A and B are shown apart, each in its own frame.
Chain A
Amino acid sequence: MAEEEIMKKLKDSVINLDKDAAKEAAEEALKVGIDPLDAMKRGLYAGLKEVCDHYEETVFITDMLLASDAFYSGAEVLKAKIDKAKMQKKGIGVLGVIEGDVHDLGKNMLKYLLEAEGFEIHDLGFNVRVGKFIEEAHRLDADLILVSVMLSSKFPTIEKIVDLARENELKAKIMVGGGPVTEEIAKKYGADGWALTAPQAVKEALKLVEKSKY
């Protein structure tokens, strides 16, 4: 099968939320000698991006989660063969749901999209202590600390993370998001970045990492 045809198959498998088709197409890509990194980017990721681009109008949580599942099922196959040296990391992020909060659906979605974009994400799970964000960001010399907050009672905890990161002179920029968090709230508690949805968060993360280089 021609390369472009397989690329289309990879892309469509994600758009069609079809895990099995993604895996199959990835195996085919390897068989005919397509560069796995290229298959990931131009195939699977292109599909995921298309799903995300429509999130605001016609795509739902259910679709996003299943598109991510399809992406991962193909990516698993390709990853094993990707030359690590060639993989360009966009940045390192520490991600978690704030202390006292167990809502993790949004956090997981963000993780899938950031990883697909090429970030190295360390997922701390939910109900994450303030200190844990800081320790991990320090240990990994992270570029980003991403905090998901679904309970408005936890807004003041954002400030604690921000203060502690500054006290420890971490280079990481702090992004917050999640249902009730508005841009105003993010600013009020001192975060560097905010986004309404996971696809927008990826764009914002890229900008923040870019900025921190200068």
Chain B
Amino acid sequence: MTPMERILGLISRKKLDRIPVFPFVSAAAAKVRGLDYGEYAKKPDVFLRCQIEAQQLIGYDAITAMPDLCVEAQGFGAKIIYPSDNAAYPDPYNPVLKSADDYRHIGELFSWDKAERMNNQLQVIRTVRKELPGLMIGGFTIGPIGLISRLRNINELVRDFVHHPDKIHEACEIVTEIQIEYIEKQLEAGARTIMVPVVLAEREIMSKQMWEELDAPYQKRIADFVSSKGGIYAVHTCGRGPYFDLLIKWLHPLLIQNAHLPDGIATEEEMVEKYSKKLLLLGYLSVSQLAWMNPTEIMEECKRQIGVFGKARSGYFLGASCEYPPYASLYNAMAVVKAARVYGANFKAGVGANCEEE
């Protein structure tokens, strides 16, 4: 089966040759050409070569068009720092939004002409679509408050959540429209999936009520837009206790990727039981595991996870709960794919591996 057939087959509950795999290799792909990460993240042709070669070398099923989480921030004027061994991040000493009064001017900071990194991402999607139609490529937006968190000091942003929610709403209105336009361009370029990190809907960060007031309405606009265009809408979470109940209620994602158990859930089995009827699961290899386990341990862990999550009713992708650590050896990504072949053969959503039905 081609990667695309495998993924679409999982969604439509067909029997597959093996469980689909998504180790979320982004910056780590630079390693296949022994490149410095900065070089890879800045040049779309280099990025694309590395992505394609890493996929061909390792054999996973989907690639990402996103080099790191500061693609959109650059378009809004953030100075991006490119470390040689880790993902890029915005200059923490010089945030773009210096006071809460700057929120309302956020739209003036952006222009498509200046948004080199967003345009690069579109070019990558277009090329993959044309040259490798059998490969699934995912589009991405960081979401309204996600973007704002790259432009404003996070400590101040958390205070603004409480002291200046009206100003944040003003900014979100503007940013959401720009992000919807960005998503439309990505879908037109050929992305089938749009993944959005919804990291505020988490037990550790804010209350359910605050998330529903502050972030949910804008995330919903994005989710509805993706679905209305026939795209697959997927949510990424990364902190402890993600609010799966609210994410489902507001956003109806086809898939959620998570690193920690959802809020109110005590075991992995309970998570499968409670949520897998409503959505596909993606994960659950942590950044620490991928970084610090050896390939044999990774194979064992994948076997265990296929055992637990393989029973997920709507389906399950074996993969990383977050971006594959750029500094980790690629052997572990290979071990994940090998585990899918060895322990995840003849896979079907709701049944798991070694399915005997047709």
* Distance A126 CA – B291 CA, assembled complex (angstroms): 23
B288 touches A185 (CB 8 A): yes
For the complex, is B205 an interface residue (Cβ under 8 Å from A)? Answer: yes
A155 touches B292 (CB 8 A): yes
Q: Which residues of A contact B203 (CB under 8 A)?
A: 60
For the complex, is B158 an interface residue (Cβ under 8 Å from A)? Answer: yes
* Distance A60 CA – B214 CA, assembled complex (angstroms): 15
For the complex, is B83 an interface residue (Cβ under 8 Å from A)? Answer: yes
Q: A100-B83, A155-B292 are in contact. Are A62 and B155 (CB under 8 A)?
A: no
Contact of A69 among B154, B159, B161, B204 (CB under 8 A): B159
Contact of A65 among B159, B210, B287, B288 (CB under 8 A): B159
For the complex, is A61 an interface residue (Cβ under 8 Å from B)? Answer: yes
Across the two chains, which residue of chain B brings its CB closest to A102?
A: B92
A62 touches B162 (CB 8 A): yes
Contact of A153 among B154, B286, B325 (CB under 8 A): B325
Q: Please give the distance in Å from B91's CB to the nearest CB on chain A.
A: 9
* Distance A104 CA – B158 CA, assembled complex (angstroms): 12
**CB proximity to A under 8 Å, residues B211-256:** 239
A105 touches B85 (CB 8 A): no
Across the two chains, which residue of chain A brings its CB closest to B259?
A: A180
Across the two chains, which residue of chain A brings its CB closest to B153?
A: A104
For the complex, is A66 an interface residue (Cβ under 8 Å from B)? Answer: yes
Contact of A62 among B158, B291, B292, B327 (CB under 8 A): B158
* Distance A104 CA – B287 CA, assembled complex (angstroms): 20
* Distance A179 CA – B260 CA, assembled complex (angstroms): 11
For the complex, is A208 an interface residue (Cβ under 8 Å from B)? Answer: no
B86 touches A100 (CB 8 A): yes
For the complex, is B275 an interface residue (Cβ under 8 Å from A)? Answer: no
Q: Which residues of B contact A61 (CB under 8 A)?
A: 158, 204-206
> How big is chain B's contact interface, by range?
20 to 34
Interface string of A25-64 (1 = CB under 8 A from B): 0000000000000000000000000000000000011100
Total contacting residues, chain A, CB less than 8 A: 22
* Distance A185 CA – B293 CA, assembled complex (angstroms): 12
Q: Which residues of B contact A179 (CB under 8 A)?
A: 239
* Distance A185 CA – B289 CA, assembled complex (angstroms): 11
A17 touches B155 (CB 8 A): no
B204 touches A104 (CB 8 A): no
Instruction: Point out which of A69, A102, A155, A185 has the most chain B C-beta atoms below 10 A from its C-beta.
Output: A102
Q: Please give the distance in Å from B44's CB to the nearest CB on chain A.
A: 25
* Distance A179 CA – B238 CA, assembled complex (angstroms): 10
For the complex, is A108 an interface residue (Cβ under 8 Å from B)? Answer: yes
B288 touches A180 (CB 8 A): yes
Q: Which residues of A contact B82 (CB under 8 A)?
A: none
Contact of B162 among A66, A100, A104 (CB under 8 A): A66
B155 touches A105 (CB 8 A): yes
Q: Which residues of A contact B291 (CB under 8 A)?
A: 152-153, 155
For the complex, is B296 an interface residue (Cβ under 8 Å from A)? Answer: no
For the complex, is B207 an interface residue (Cβ under 8 Å from A)? Answer: yes
B92 touches A126 (CB 8 A): yes
Across the two chains, which residue of chain A brings its CB closest to B327?
A: A153
Q: A105-B155, A151-B86, A153-B325 are in contact. Are A17 and B206 (CB under 8 A)?
A: no
Given contacts A105-B158, A179-B239, 9 further A-B contacts (CB under 8 A): A60-B203, A61-B158, A62-B158, A62-B207, A65-B159, A66-B162, A102-B89, A108-B155, A127-B92
